Chains A and B, each alone.
Chain A
Amino acid sequence: MEPIRTIRSRFVLLPIDDADTDQIIPARFLKTTSRAGLGAHLFADRRGPDFPLDRPEARGAHVLVAGRNFGCGSSREHAPWALFDAGFRAIIALGIADIFRANAIKNGIVPVVVDEPFHARLTASPGAEVVIDLDKLAVFIEDGGPSAAFSLDPFSRHCLMAGVDELGLLLAQVDSIAAYEKQVEASP
């Protein structure tokens, strides 16, 4: 995973709440044994000239802005795989569902939950660039007023900024895991 410090990009505005993982990538595209190429199916059943991702100004945008409870529904990691493959590196939303959030962080997508006033400023700034600064835990609109703070637990932030692979950290705990197993499996 590539380390991330700052993301500066135009954004795509998806003005809906509860964008569930079945919308992000419909289940029929889950019949794969690979994680490659899923960006082609991102929001497959929503695409068309009027869909925000298909408008000309969406080209090259690395940030998706959505409403409440983004990524609710299934645990499919195909959702962040598809978003990443389509070029997205951050989701800014009024809320992000728990499993999606955990999956996103493991795939180099920054989850940024903002309040309604900042969200309203974003909505009112189509075509602007947004800057997400992981070092300062701040997000701002280029030439668009003061920055807003966002929260990210220190571990998730560290993983994103250092490109840390969690499996490596768990494998480093193998002695503790073995000791735990020995203790638990010895007790009646």
Chain B
Amino acid sequence: MSESTLFGKVWSGHVVAPESESTPAVLYVDLHLVHEVTSPQAFEVLRERGLRVRRPDRTVATMDHSTPTTPRPARGPRVVADQDAKAQIDRLERNCREQGIRLYALGDDHQGIVHVIAPELGLTRPGMTITCGDSHTSTHGAFGALAFGIGTSEVGHVLATQCLLQRRPRTMRATIDGKPPRGVTAKDVVLALIAKIGTAGGARHVIEYAGSTIRAMSMEERMTVCNMTIEGGARAGMVAPDDTTFEWLAKCPEAPQGPSWERSLSRWRDLRTDDDASFDREVSLDASQLSPMITFGTDPSTAIPIGSPVPEANGDTTRARALAYMGVEAGKPLLGHRVDVVFVGSCTNARLSDLRQAATVMRGRHVAPGVRMLVVAGSQQVKHRAEAEGLDRVFLEAGAEWREPGCSMCIAMNGDRLDAGQYAVSTSNRNFEGRQGPGGRTFLASPLTAAAAAVTGRVTDVRELID
């Protein structure tokens, strides 16, 4: 069968054994990313069954989820105080050593959030299949890869066989056109899309992002969009590779070189959806009509334009519970709402351009009294580059914390967390109850809107602070 969609072309090139009525396809995985939290039980299964990792050369590990982000000691190794986290980190080191897997450990110059480091190393490439035991693996789809999160059993399957049993998903195209107005970022665009389709709107689908807005986006912006795909219920989001993609890859240390680069490039240029292709579902969004977005509830689809009133629950018990948990009043905008903590970080918004955006607001301003601001670069490389252009000074002089890379307060496993009742404006991806700490309350927003909240101590329309 001839494939007409980007997804179909990538999928069909990785089918080891086709699916039938009674069995799923055997799908080959080109790159398997591993971290400390969802892998130990998978390595244990291999050990119990006497199996080796089939392709350690296609497997790359880092530590990010439970690792501390406290500043490094002036000398000597980093100390992980949390004994449970330390046990996980030690286990990952041992598993990687025993199985010959490349590991970017704490202290390594390329350590960082798994979905930040693979693209910056050039491990993530167009047309690949990529899996990781993490739902935000969808991030890598920004390069035209088919990338999706898997559970720990499947981590074991990929370690042992480099394959997964998968049913072919359906296809959805999200066409986003128009130039986003001032103050509207990739984060606002994707929050608006999720508000439109709902938290399960993309279930059982792979989303291809298309349209002039997507084409005009940088790779970092496309990663933000693809990252949030899972919050709309789809496991994978993809963007067809183009010159923006190739320019990014050309600068990556692990990208193909010489004749191999030329061959790759000609193959990558074919990775696009044909003009006459059809999708199982189509949605569209006009980015030129958007405002900065912020969430009021406890799922990412509760995003509203920042000046709009919080909608009424209208008898929806889940919504009513969310409003009560958040302690926000329906009928009024969130503007002016108290903020205790601002978090700039996560696999969604902790790349260099995100830090630059936050810094444009922070420069010459100060974090409001009583507010704590954490800035957590996505990787050591992002941190170095930010420091090279003086962004660390901007944040530190404004009274923010400049921390070591990791998932940090996005998932609140490592001690970086909200106290019960606190309000955060966060550039991360989930505002679920307790996600950033038991009883903590999260407003999701862009790095611009987060920085605006930090300097005012209130939910603020960033357009009032920038030119």
Contact = CB atoms under 8 A, between A and B. Distances in A.
B135 interface: yes
Contact of B153 (A33, A34, A103, A176): A103
Nearest to A80: B151
B28 A31 contact: no
Contact of B413 (A17, A20, A31, A77): A31
Provide the main secondary structure of the chain A interface: loop
Given A22-B430, A177-B26, A99 B263 contact: no
Given A16-B321, A22-B433, A72-B233, A34 B41 contact: yes
B205 to A, nearest CB: 9
Contacts of A153: 24, 167
A171 interface: yes
A77 B438 CA distance: 21
Interface string A80-107: 1000000000000001011100110011
B233 A176 contact: no
B280 to A, nearest CB: 15
Given A23-B432, A103-B151, A28 B413 contact: yes
Contacts of A18: 199, 298-299, 318
A132 to B, nearest CB: 21
- Report, as a range, how many residues of chain A touch the other chain: 35 or more
A31 B37 contact: yes
Interface in A1-53: 15-18, 20, 22-23, 26-28, 30-35, 45-46
A170 B317 contact: no
Q: Which of B82, B152, B317 has its CB near the most chain A CB atoms (within 10 A)?
A: B152
A166 B156 CA distance: 10
Contacts of B115: none
B41 A35 contact: yes
Nearest to A74: B135
Given A23-B432, A34-B41, A176 B26 contact: yes
A73 B162 CA distance: 25
B283 interface: no
B200 A33 contact: no
A65 to B, nearest CB: 14
A124 interface: no
A35 B152 CA distance: 10
B154 interface: yes
Contacts of A77: 38, 41, 133, 151-153
A102 B151 contact: yes
A133 B114 CA distance: 42
Nearest to A95: B200
Contacts of B28: 177, 180-181, 184
Given A173-B16, A180-B16, A167 B413 contact: no
B413 A73 contact: no
Interface stretch (B85-93, B237-245, B381-389, B448-456): B85-93
Given A16-B321, A22-B430, A31 B84 contact: yes
A35 B39 CA distance: 11
Contacts of B434: 22-23, 26, 45
Interface string B147-174: 0011111101100111111010000000
A72 to B, nearest CB: 6
B467 interface: no
B223 interface: no
Q: Give the top 5 A-B pairs by smallest Cβ distance, nearest first.
A: A31-B84, A103-B151, A33-B40, A77-B151, A75-B149
9 contacts: A16-B317, A27-B65, A31-B85, A69-B200, A74-B135, A98-B203, A98-B233, A99-B235, A173-B163
Interface of B: 16-17, 21-24, 26, 28, 37-38, 40-41, 44-45, 49, 51, 54, 65-66, 82, 84-85, 87-88, 91, 133-135, 137, 149-154, 156-157, 160-165, 167, 199-200, 203-204, 230, 233, 235, 263, 298-299, 317-318, 321, 411-413, 430, 432-435, 438-439
